[in-house]
Each structure stands twice: as structure tokens, then as C-alpha cells.
């Protein structure tokens, strides 16, 4: 198993892509700490992994709470002696253009989509330096590498994550700490609900996916999870500072 005995933290792991990434890392031997805002979803993900023979534990965490994040990182290292992988995934999608997005909506987007990643990495890096290696994965989006109508707060913050990724990668490569951005396209999860509302409902979004994605379909959570495994493992050992786009060709369509 390619992640045997490595310790991973995944935020936003209670459902969707976060859960899929946690599950595949556990299947490859990692000890996975499930950090989701919902205690119920955290426990559900961890229990599912353990049922399948993996190792996981639930640590419900509000990523917007700095003290909670500090407790998450320090508690994980205290219990397991190290931190090898951080997948900072939790985020928010706020719909609307310049005149529709409220100040609160922009602030919430920045707090969850950028600042929470910064805080997580800032706490994780010293632990990784102490052990001479580490992989940090930030979830951005293909929306961070191209523009789309009517999601200003989301695009702005996801683009910021990519630049933060590159800077952290540059600064910490000498410590054998890699940092990459995961940039998924359309995956059929409840995370899309705000954009679905903006587009006018499920049918409109289905038509967009069929007509605008060159591959003509949604990605599966499993397909994105494979990319997470790649970034977390030594399979990507010479890759850092990159935005890995998995979107069925939408950026080029």
C-alpha cells in the first residue's frame, strides 16, 4: 500500500470529494483524521472506513475557528506522532456577480476558501519540517484557472488558492514539503446547489454539463479521489506548486 502508516488530515471529509479522498487514502494504508463541521458526518465517514478495514478517526472541526484548527493539528500529532498529509478541502460556494454577492458572502468565501487553507498549512508545516517531508493539498477548482459568469466570490477565492499554493511550494520545497492545488470540475455533489439555483434548477445544470463539458458528463467522486491519492503519495514526489485540473476538458471547451 502506497500510504502505509502515513498520517493524513482531511478537512470537509464528511461527504463528497473530501470523503472520497479520505476513503482512498485509508485503503492505501494511511491513518486518516476526518475533520468535518458536522459531528454526524465525521463519525459516518470514519465508521465507514473502519468497517472496510481502514484506520480513521473523527475529529469534528470548524475550519473557520483558529483555535479549533490548532487543536486538530496538535491533537493529531500528539496522538500519532507525526503529520504526513494535509488535504485542506472544506470550502463554500457563494453564487452571484458583483452586484449580487453581499459583503458577508465575500467575507465568508475568503474565510473558508482561502484563510482556512492558510491557517491549516501554517499549523501543519512545522510538524512536517520536523519529519523532513510532507504533502499539502488545497482544494481549489477549475474555476480558479478560468472565468465563468456569475460566481465572482468563488472564482476570486479559488484563484487566490492557486497562487498561495505556488508560493508555499516555492518556499518549502527545500524542506521536502510539497504543496499542490486540486482543481476539480463538475462533480455531482450537494456542493453545487448554489450554482444550480443561479442557473435555474437541476435540468439547466444537467444541460450545461452535457453541452459544455467536452466529455459530456459529470466527474465521479472516485475519479477525483484518484487524483487526491496521486498528490498525497510519492507517485507525485517531484511535483509541487501545480494546479491539477480534472474537469473533462471544460477549461478548453
How many Å apart are CA 253 and CA 247, to the nearest integer?
Answer: 10
Task: Tell me, letter by letter, the H, E, C secondary structure of 139-172.
Answer: ECCHHHCCCCCCEHHHHHHHHHHHHHHHHHHHHH
Q: DSSP alpha helices (H): ranges in the chain?
A: 16-27, 39-51, 66-80, 103-110, 116-131, 152-172, 193-199, 202-212, 221-232
Is there a catalytic annotation at residue 208? no
Given its phi and psi angles, is residue 189 left (phi above 0), alpha (psi -120 to 50 degrees) or beta?
beta
Among candidate residues 154, 172, 195, 230, the one labeled active-site is 154
Strand bridging mode 134-139 / 243-246? unpaired
Q: Which residues are catalytic?
A: 154
Amino acid at each position: 500500500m502506497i500510504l502505509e502508516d502515513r498520517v493524513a488530515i482531511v478537512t470537509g471529509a464528511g461527504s463528497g470529494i473530501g470523503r472520497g479522498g479520505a476513503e482512498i487514502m485509508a485503503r492505501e494504508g494511511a491513518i486518516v483524521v476526518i475533520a468535518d463541521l458536522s459531528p454526524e458526518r465525521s463519525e459516518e465517514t470514519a465508521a465507514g472506513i473502519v468497517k472496510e478495514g481502514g484506520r480513521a478517526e473523527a475529529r469534528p472541526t470548524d475550519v473557520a475557528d483558529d483555535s479549533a484548527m490548532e487543536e486538530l493539528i496538535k491533537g493529531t500529532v500528539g496522538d500519532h506522532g507525526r503529520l504526513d498529509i494535509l488535504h485542506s478541502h472544506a470550502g463554500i460556494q457563494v453564487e452571484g456577480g458583483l452586484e449580487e454577492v453581499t459583503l458577508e458572502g465575500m467575507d465568508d468565501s475568503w474565510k473558508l476558501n482561502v484563510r482556512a487553507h492558510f491557517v491549516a498549512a501554517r499549523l501543519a508545516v512545522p510538524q512536517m519540517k520536523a519529519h523532513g517531508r510532507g504533502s499539502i493539498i488545497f482544494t481549489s477548482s477549475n474555476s480558479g484557472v478560468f472565468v465563468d459568469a456569475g460566481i465572482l466570490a468563488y472564482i476570486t477565492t479559488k484563484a487566490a488558492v492557486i497562487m498561495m499554493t505556488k508560493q508555499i511550494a516555492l518556499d518549502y520545497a527545500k524542506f521536502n514539503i510539497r504543496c499542490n492545488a486540486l482543481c476539480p470540475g463538475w462533480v455531482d455533489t450537494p456542493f453545487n446547489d448554489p450554482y444550480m439555483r443561479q442557473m435555474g434548477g437541476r435540468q439547466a445544470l444537467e444541460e450545461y454539463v452535457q453541452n459544455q463539458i467536452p466529455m459530456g458528463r459529470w466527474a465521479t467522486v472516485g475519479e477525483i479521489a484518484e487524483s487526491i491519492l496521486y498528490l498525497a503519495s510519492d507517485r507525485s514526489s517531484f511535483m509541487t506548486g501545480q494546479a491539477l485540473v480534472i474537469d473533462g476538458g471544460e477549461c478548453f471547451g
